Structure 1
Amino acid sequence: MRGDFSVRRTAIPGVIAVAATSGMTFARHTHDDYGIGVVISGAQTSASGRGPVEAEAGDLITVNPGEIHDGAPIGDARSWRMLYFSPDVVDELIAGEPLRGWTPKELKFPVLRARASVRRFLSLYRSMTEPCGADPLPREEDVADLFSRLLEDRTPAPAATPDIGRALEMIADDPSRNFSLAEIGAALGLSRFQALRAFRKACGFTPSAYQAQQRCDVARRLIRSGAALSEAAYASGFSDQSHMTRAFAQRYGFTPGALAAA
C-alpha cells in the first residue's frame, strides 16, 4: 500500500476514525458502516451508488453500508479524514425519527460542498480523537447535527414545537452536571434529532450552548461575590479554569480574571 494510514478508536463505541494520505487506487469494495469524511488536500475520483463523482480539498464525502465504491487520486495523492459509524450507532441516534417511505436510511450525497457541514465534521473529528473533558453533550450534538444535515430531506421535522421548559429547567437547576443529548431527549419524549432541533428553535441555543451559558452565569455570580477563579470554575461545572476562561472570552470578549479585577 502506498501512503500513510492511521486507524483510531474514538470516544463513542461503534465509531472508528481513519486519517490517510495516499496515492493508492482502491479496488471496488464496500463497508459495513456509514462513512462520513472530508478531503483535506488533493482530489480524487470514485464510483458511488449514484455514479462516478469527484471530490477535492474541502469537500465532504460519504458512503453508505454496502455501497460499492472505489477511489483513485487526481494527481499524485490526496489526504482525508473519515469517521465510520456502525449501523447500530446510527439506528440508536435517530431512534423515533419518522423516516417515512425511505428504507434503508441513506446518506444522500456522495460528495457535498457545504462549509457548515465540513466545519461540523472537523469539530466532531477532533472531539472524537483528541483527549477531552467528560462532557458528552457537544460531541453528541455534532453527531446528531451532522446526520441531520445529511438526512435532512428524508427526516421530517416534528409537526409542532414541543415545550422544552422541562429541559431548560433541568439544565439550569444543575449546570455542573454533564447531561447527554439522549437524557435531554428522554425528558422531552423526543429522539436526539428532534430534541436538538426543538431546543434550537425554541431558545436559539443548542443544549450544549445553553448549558455553557448557564455555567458562565453561575461563574460570573461567584466571581462577583469574591470567589477565587479556580473555585468559580469548579463550582459552575467547567472542567478547569482555562475552560472557563475560553467560554468567557468567546461570549464576552473579556476573561474571568478581568471581571474579578473589576
Structure 2
Amino acid sequence: MQQKPFRFLPTALPGIEAMQADSRLVFGRHMHLQFGLGVIERGAQKSASGRGIVESGPGDTITVNPGEVHDGMPLDERGRAWRMLYLEPALVAPLAAEVHPGPHGSAFEFHAPTMRDARLAAQVLALFDAATHRPNHSAAALHVEECLLRVLGGLLRPKGHQQSAASIARARTMMDDDPTAPWSLAQLADAASLSRYQLVRQFAQTTGLTPHAYLLQRRLQLARHLMGAGTPLADVAAASGFADQSHLTRLFTRSFGITPGAYVRTRG
C-alpha cells in the first residue's frame, strides 16, 4: 500500500496537532494560527517567510510562528519527509510564561526558522513521540508536558519591542473576529484611521499579505477547522466565506498542497 503523503495522528494533549509528511509538493504562501515545530527527516527544502529565505536538510529543526506567512518547496525531485507539531497559542502561552518569567504577557515567538542542532532535533522528535505514542495512556499527558517545556525553553524568546502598528492591528482583528464577513477596503481603512492606499501598503509591510490575501488565509484556516470538526465538505465552503466549493478547493490546494477531500481523508 502506498504511503499517504500527509498523515495526522491522535495526540495525548489537547491543543497539539501532529502530522507526518513525505511529499514533493510545493506550498504557496500561507499561514497557520498555531506555532509550528518539526524536524526534516529526509531530503531538503527551501522556504521564505518574514524571517528570511532559508534551506533545511535532514536533522534540521524547523519552526513557524502563528500568523507568519511562509511557503515551501523541495530542493530536488526526491522531495522531503518531515514530522510536524502544531501548538495552539493558548497551550503555549502559560508554558512560555514559566520558561521566561517576566512582564512579557503572551508575546513570545520562535526565534529562528531553521536550526541545525542535533540535541534540539532529538528533543523535538521525543516530544512528537510522546504526543503520539499511546495517546490515551493515563500518564501520557504528563510526559508530553515535560517534553514540551524542555523544547520551548530552547526555542521561545520574548518578542522584540517592534510590534505591529495599532492601526493595522485594528483592521486585522476585524477580519480575525469575522472572517466570513464581506469586508470592504473602505471599512478596514476606516477602522485603521488610514487611507485605503496607506492600509494596503502598511498591512503588507506588517503581515506579508495584502488585506484581501490575509482574509482568504483566515477563511482557509476556518475551513480547516470546520473540516477537522466533521463538517460535511459540501457545507464547508459557504460556512467559511467562499463563493463556492471550487473556489475553496483551488485556494486550499495552492496553500496546503492537497485538496480539501484529501485533507479530510488524512484525518480519518
Question: The TM-score by the shorter chain falls in which range?
Answer: 0.5 to 0.7
Contact kept, 8 Å, 2:96 with 2:108, in 1: the verdict is no
Instruction: Return the offset for 1:100.
Output: 4.7
Q: Supply the distance in 1 between the matched residues of 2:7 and 2:104 (Cα, whole angstroms).
A: 38
Q: Indicate the residue corresponding to 1:36 in structure 2.
A: 37
Kindly indicate whether residue 57 of structure 2 is the aligned counterpart of residue 53 of structure 1.
no
Higher RCO, Cα 8 Å, sep 6+:
2
Is the radius of gyration larger for structure 1 or structure 2? 1
Residues 1:103 and 1:138: Cα distance change in structure 2 (over 3 Å):
closer
Q: Supply the distance in 2 between the matched residues of 1:102 and 1:58 (Cα, whole angstroms).
A: 32
Q: What are the within-5 Å matches in structure 2 for residues 72-87 of structure 1?
A: 72-76=73-77, 77-87=79-89
Kindly indicate whether residue 96 of structure 2 is the aligned counterpart of residue 94 of structure 1.
yes
Q: Supply the distance in 1 between the matched residues of 2:63 and 2:109 (Cα, whole angstroms).
A: 10
Q: Indicate the residue corresponding to 1:134 in structure 2.
A: 138
Q: Indicate the residue corresponding to 2:5 in structure 1.
A: 4
> Which of the numbers 111, 115, 119 marks the counterpart of 1:116?
119
Q: Indicate the residue corresponding to 2:249 in structure 1.
A: none
Q: Supply the distance in 2 between the matched residues of 1:38 and 1:102 (Cα, whole angstroms).
A: 28
Deviations 1:197-243 (A, max 9, x none): xxxxxxxxxxxxxxxxxxxxxxxxxxxxxxxxxxxxxxxxxxxxxxx
Residues 1:65 and 1:144: Cα distance change in structure 2 (over 3 Å):
same
Q: Supply the distance in 2 between the matched residues of 1:69 and 1:85 (Cα, whole angstroms).
A: 17
Instruction: Return the offset for 1:141.
Output: 1.2
Q: Supply the distance in 1 between the matched residues of 2:101 and 2:82 (Cα, whole angstroms).
A: 33
Give the fraction of aligned pairs with identical amino acids, expressed as a percent: 40
RMSD, aligned α-carbons:
2.2
Q: Supply the distance in 2 between the matched residues of 1:44 and 1:87 (Cα, whole angstroms).
A: 26
Q: What are the within-5 Å matches in structure 2 for residues 86-235 of structure 1?
A: 86-95=88-97, 97-100=100-103, 104-131=107-134, 133-135=137-139, 136-151=141-156, 154=158
- For this pair of structures, how many residues does the alignment match? 153
Secondary structure of residue in 1 paired with 2:110: coil
Aligned-partner residue type, residue 138 of structure 2:
A
Aligned-partner residue type, residue 17 of structure 1:
A
Deviations 1:163-203 (A, max 9, x none): xxxxxxxxxxxxxxxxxxxxxxxxxxxxxxxxxxxxxxxxx
Q: Supply the distance in 1 between the matched residues of 2:109 and 2:155 (Cα, whole angstroms).
A: 9
Contact kept, 8 Å, 2:107 with 2:158, in 1: the verdict is no
Residues 1:94 and 1:102: Cα distance change in structure 2 (over 3 Å):
closer
Secondary structure of residue in 2 paired with 1:52: strand
Contact kept, 8 Å, 1:5 with 1:19, in 2: the verdict is yes
Q: Supply the distance in 2 between the matched residues of 1:16 and 1:103 (Cα, whole angstroms).
A: 20
Contact kept, 8 Å, 1:99 with 1:154, in 2: the verdict is no
Contact kept, 8 Å, 2:97 with 2:106, in 1: the verdict is no
Instruction: Return the offset for 1:134.
Output: 2.1
Secondary structure of residue in 2 paired with 1:61: strand
**Unaligned regions of 5+ residues in structure 2, if any?**
160-268
TM-score in terms of structure 1 length: 0.54
Residues 1:99 and 1:92: Cα distance change in structure 2 (over 3 Å):
same
Q: Indicate the residue corresponding to 1:63 in structure 2.
A: 64
Residues 1:88 and 1:55: Cα distance change in structure 2 (over 3 Å):
same
